[in-house]
């Protein structure tokens, strides 16, 4: 099915318009429809600080023409299926940012047609029937036909098969099966339920974009993955595909249990959370060369680093936390008590501890944080390093709180 992604200009226009309405600081916005365009619009509005957003949706689901449905161990696309084209296709532009999310579909290869009795149809017959079907679909006679496309196609199809000697080798059974196949193909390609619902003289205004016309979704969530992308609103939660797994570019662990709303929501789902290996007392530090740092040495360095972070001298230091820490770190290492610590190990531990602090305190660099800045974070009771035991990582919490009911503050109203 071809999905026509034309919502980008609408989003920009809407953002511009809303920002000018009576100078309102947080106007109430109503978005009609919870398809890709509606979700993307609401997402961009929310990110721009316009949070009083309501989406009106007539059906009982989100996604519009995108309708990915579980089917056994996999999925089936009841709506849009492939990503058609690359250049100028906003769906491709968004999805291609994620490695291997799109791949060439098998229908782009040397596909074969198989009859219901498992017999493969000869390629020459397939080519002959396909050529006939395309001729009928592109016939100028369609423009003067008063009925449906289905009526026009089937009448012309059977007439040609019965009167053209070139099709004498096509059995009636095969002809019927091919007709069913071609109808389904056209339904999927042109996005209608039945060609009997479409006028024969209706023209297709769809403009084909350059590139592969049959890109498939290499994801367990199929085409609906694009809904996650256009409605990305996670703030500090930023889970990104990385090879066969994921990497957390934002929040990583669930810190604490009692009073932690993230834990309270996620713990309802058995197996979604697990104790992280960093909480394991047997966790070790490994140097870049593969050598294990002796536990006693790692403990000394860790204790020293924590002492610097918790030092009262931070309050009177005028520079960044990074400047304060590195100065104190190297001064301490210069004392006789740390003469057994090599420069190479000291540098590697400094990199490790910086990354540890970045991940734990949620800043990009400690050189961007004032040394005197106090941490107002109140640590909830419980395990401080609970990891996400799922392929979606921390972003699983976004599914739980729901696009429809939590962040966007949507009101679902039956129209």
What pLDDT score does 205 carry? Answer: 72
What pLDDT score does 24 carry? Answer: 55
CA distances from 405 to 49, 53, 411 (A): 18, 11, 7
What pLDDT score does 207 carry? Answer: 81
Q: DSSP letter at 191?
A: T
Tell me how many helices (H) and strands (E) the chain has: 12, 10
258: number of CA atoms within 13 Å, CB side? Answer: 5
Length of the chain: 415
Q: pTM for the full model?
A: 0.47
In a 10 Å sphere around its CB, with 0-12 CB exposed, 13-18 middle and 19+ buried, how is residue 127 labelled? exposed
CB 28 within 8 A of CB 51: no
Domain-wise residue ranges, the chain:
123-189, 295-368
Structure token digits, residue 247: 């990497």
What does the radius of gyration of the chain's CA atoms come to, in whole angstroms?
A: 30
CA distance 400 to 406: 9
For the chain, 415 residues long, the average pLDDT of each consecutive 10-residue run is 44 41 67 86 77 84 86 87 85 77 74 84 92 94 94 96 93 93 86 89 81 86 80 67 78 82 79 71 68 86 92 90 92 92 89 82 81 77 82 74 41 39
What pLDDT score does 112 carry? Answer: 82
What pLDDT score does 399 carry? Answer: 65
What pLDDT score does 306 carry? Answer: 92
């Amino acid at each position: 099915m071809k999905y026509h992604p034309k919502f980008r200009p609408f989003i920009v226009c809407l953002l511009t318009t809303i920002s000018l309405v009576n100078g309102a600081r947080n106007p109430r916005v109503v978005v009609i429809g919870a398809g890709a365009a509606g979700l993307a619009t609401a997402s961009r509005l929310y990110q721009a600080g316009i949070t009083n957003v309501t989406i009106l949706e007539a059906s009982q689901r989100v996604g519009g023409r995108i309708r990915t449905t579980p089917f056994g161990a996999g999925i089936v696309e009841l709506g849009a299926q492939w990503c058609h084209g690359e250049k100028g296709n906003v769906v491709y532009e968004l999805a291609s940012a994620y490695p291997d999310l799109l791949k060439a579909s098998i229908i782009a290869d040397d596909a074969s047609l198989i009859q219901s009795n498992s017999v493969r149809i000869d390629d020459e017959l397939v080519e002959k029937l396909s050529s006939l079907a395309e001729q009928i679909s592109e016939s100028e006679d369609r423009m003067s036909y008063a009925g449906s496309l289905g009526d026009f196609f089937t009448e012309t199809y059977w007439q040609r098969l019965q009167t053209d000697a070139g099709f004498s080798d096509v059995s009636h059974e095969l002809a019927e099966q091919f007709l069913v196949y071609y109808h389904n193909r056209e339904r999927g390609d042109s996005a209608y339920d039945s060609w009997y619902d479409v006028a024969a003289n209706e023209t297709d205004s769809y403009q084909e974009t350059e590139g592969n016309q049959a890109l498939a979704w290499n994801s367990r969530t199929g085409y609906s993955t694009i809904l996650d992308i256009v409605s990305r609103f996670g703030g500090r939660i930023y889970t990104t595909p990385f090879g066969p797994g994921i990497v957390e570019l934002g929040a990583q662990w669930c810190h604490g249990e009692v009073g932690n709303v993230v834990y309270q929501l996620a713990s309802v789902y058995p197996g979604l959370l697990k104790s992280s290996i960093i909480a394991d007392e047997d966790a070790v530090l490994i140097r870049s060369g593969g050598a294990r740092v002796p536990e006693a040495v790692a403990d000394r360095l860790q204790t020293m680093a924590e002492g610097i972070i918790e030092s009262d001298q931070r309050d009177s230091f005028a520079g960044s936390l990074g400047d304060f820490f590195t100065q104190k770190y190297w001064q301490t290492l210069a004392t006789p008590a740390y003469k057994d610590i090599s420069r190479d190990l000291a540098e590697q531990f400094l990199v490790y501890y910086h990354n540890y602090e970045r991940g734990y305190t949620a800043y990009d660099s400690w050189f961007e944080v004032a040394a005197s800045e106090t941490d107002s974070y109140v640590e909830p009771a419980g395990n401080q390093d609970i990891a996400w035991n799922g392929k979606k990582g921390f972003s699983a919490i976004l599914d739980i709180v729901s696009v429809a009911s939590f962040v966007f503050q949507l009101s679902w109203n039956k129209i």
